[in-house]
Amino acid sequence: MPQIIPIRDLKNTTEISKMCKEADGPIYITKNGYGDMVIMSIEMYEKSLFITDVYNKLTAAEIQVAEGKLMDADESLKKVREKYNV
């Protein structure tokens, strides 16, 4: 269940920092009863960026497969070995 706190609670920065580190998701901040901001720990933010990057790369790969842009594994290894003189 998402954590939701009013913006006035942001005054207690030590408690907010602790909440962010302990939360398993983002914390939603409301202002006058409406959603206003989202906060999270740096670790959660970096994990979110990593997951987004993985999904973007998978999407790009799926598009390449759909377009028939495939390469044989042996041919691919040969090009890598030639490129890096291995």
Say how far residue 77 (Cα) sits from the centre of its chain: 30
Query: Does the domain spanning 3-40 belong to CATH 1.10.287.1080?
Result: no
Q: So where are the chain's domains?
A: 3-40, 43-84
pLDDT of residue 11: 94
pLDDT of residue 2: 86
* CA nearest neighbour of 18 among 46, 39, 47, 49: 39
pLDDT of residue 71: 87
Q: Return d(Cα 35, Cα 65) in angstroms, integer.
A: 40
pTM across the whole model = 0.71
Beta-bridged to residue 27, according to DSSP, are: 3, 39
Q: What is the mean pLDDT of each run of 10 residues along the chain (86 residues)?
A: 92 93 94 96 96 98 94 91 92
